[in-house]
Amino acid sequence: MNQRNGRGIAKKAGAATLLTVGALSLTGCDVTPPAAIDKVLRMGWPEGITPEAHSLGNFWVWIWVAAWTIGIIMWGLFLVAIFRWSAKRAKREGRGEFPKQLQYNIPLELVLTTIPIVIVMAIFFFTTQAQNKVTALDKNPEVTVDVTGFQWNWKFGYAEIDQKLSPTGSKYMGEDPARQQQAADSAMQPDVNGNLPIHGKSKKDLSYLHFNKIETLGTTEEIPVLVLPSHTPIEFRLASADVSHSFWIPEFLFKRDVYSHPETNQQQRAFQVEEIEREGAFVGRCAELCGTYHAMMNFELRVVTADQFREYLKFRNENPQAPNSEALRHIGEEPYAITTHPFNTDRATPDGNNYVDNNKAA
């Protein structure tokens, strides 16, 4: 009697798992969870601001739903096994010490082998689906920005701007030829002993970095603000001038390591977003422990309208000496970062208050 019950429960559990996985496979993971429970299911993940972020967010949520479902079924089975077939209980009820052993029950073992395989295959399928969407380089970017990470800050440069957003009226190419040439030359500068130690290249080879005419450079006193247009496909090209960093805007639900010599390191330096869906200020961080002041390696993504963006670039193009804050003020935006602020890096700050207020200084 008990055994039949046990098998009944195992069958039901198996069927429930299959149903859950099956339902997920049919709907696909790229389905937004119902708004009412979305926030709970996200478990602290921020709301995405790109289509790619939504994909990752949905993936995250449904994987957790599947994991919880499987977890609850398994915990249930453990508890049933522990209490129903305990030796004490068997003794009390005058049964033998062991319940009937099922280790050579072929159908049962087949089911218990198949279910995990199906689960792993489903998870693998959805992982690949989300990952392919995020890493695809087929989004026809209208703006390409160069992101350079270094100890301990960021530099952002505008590399290519499509005609409709261009500050000049035709397709804008932002490379700074003089500094790019300098970088190219750095590969062949021998060290003090006259050697080129790395496969015939200098240790200070920076030829892989991109240098642009319009750049925003972060400093200890000022958080770099990366200005980008909403509703526009954008390509980010990442490279580090020294150690490994990681480019992370939490609202992208995505981060990408920033390497020096990305191609030599088998690293694809570019990633693209189809669009940024809303304007606003979003904090960005370095997500790779990169040394003493890693925690202070913050930046801000400022998403503005396409018209504001064109005006911003035009101002910067025409006023190469003007600081970024002035260009931001010119388009009616807050001149300094509002999502994060610089820190006083002096460790001897007696009162522990190391807040630096740009806006006060301005």
Q: How far is the CB of 223 from Cu ion (least distance, A)?
A: 14
Q: How far is the CB of 216 from Cu ion (least distance, A)?
A: 17
Position 194, amino acid: G
* Among candidate residues 212, 89, 196, 43, the one with its CA nearest the CA of residue 143: 212
Footprint of Cu ion on 121-160 (CB under 5 A): none
Cis peptide before 152 (omega within 30 of 0): yes
Q: How far is the CB of 295 from Cu ion (least distance, A)?
A: 9
Binding mask 226-255 for Cu ion (x = CB under 5 A): -------------------x----------
Q: How far is the CB of 146 from Cu ion (least distance, A)?
A: 16
Among 49, 276, 286, 296, binds Cu ion (CB under 5 A): 286
Q: Which stretch binds Cu ion (CB under 5 A): 124-132, 140-148, 188-196, 280-288?
A: 280-288
Position 252, amino acid: F
Under the binding rule (CB under 5 A), the answer on residue 213 touching Cu ion is: no
Total residues binding Cu ion (CB under 5 A): 4
CB 111 within 8 A of CB 14: yes
Comparison of 168 and 292: residue with beta carbon closer to Cu ion: 292
Q: How far is the CB of 38 from Cu ion (least distance, A)?
A: 32
DSSP H/E element including 328: helix 324-330
Among 297, 313, 328, 331, binds Cu ion (CB under 5 A): 297
Comparison of 24 and 147: residue with beta carbon closer to Cu ion: 147
Q: Which residues are CB-contacts of 111 (< 8 A; sequence separation ≥ 6)?
A: 14
Structure tokens at 225: 């603000």
Comparison of 130 and 145: residue with beta carbon closer to Cu ion: 145
- Per DSSP (E only), the strands in the chain are 143-150, 153-161, 172-173, 215-217, 225-229, 234-240, 245-249, 254-258, 270-273, 280-286, 298-304
The angle formed by the CA atoms of residues 186, 187 and 189, to the nearest 5 degrees, is 65
Q: Is 223 helix (H, G, I), strand (E, B) or coil?
A: coil
Q: How far is the CB of 266 from Cu ion (least distance, A)?
A: 20
Instruction: By CB under 5 A, name the binding residues for Cu ion.
Output: 245, 286, 290, 297
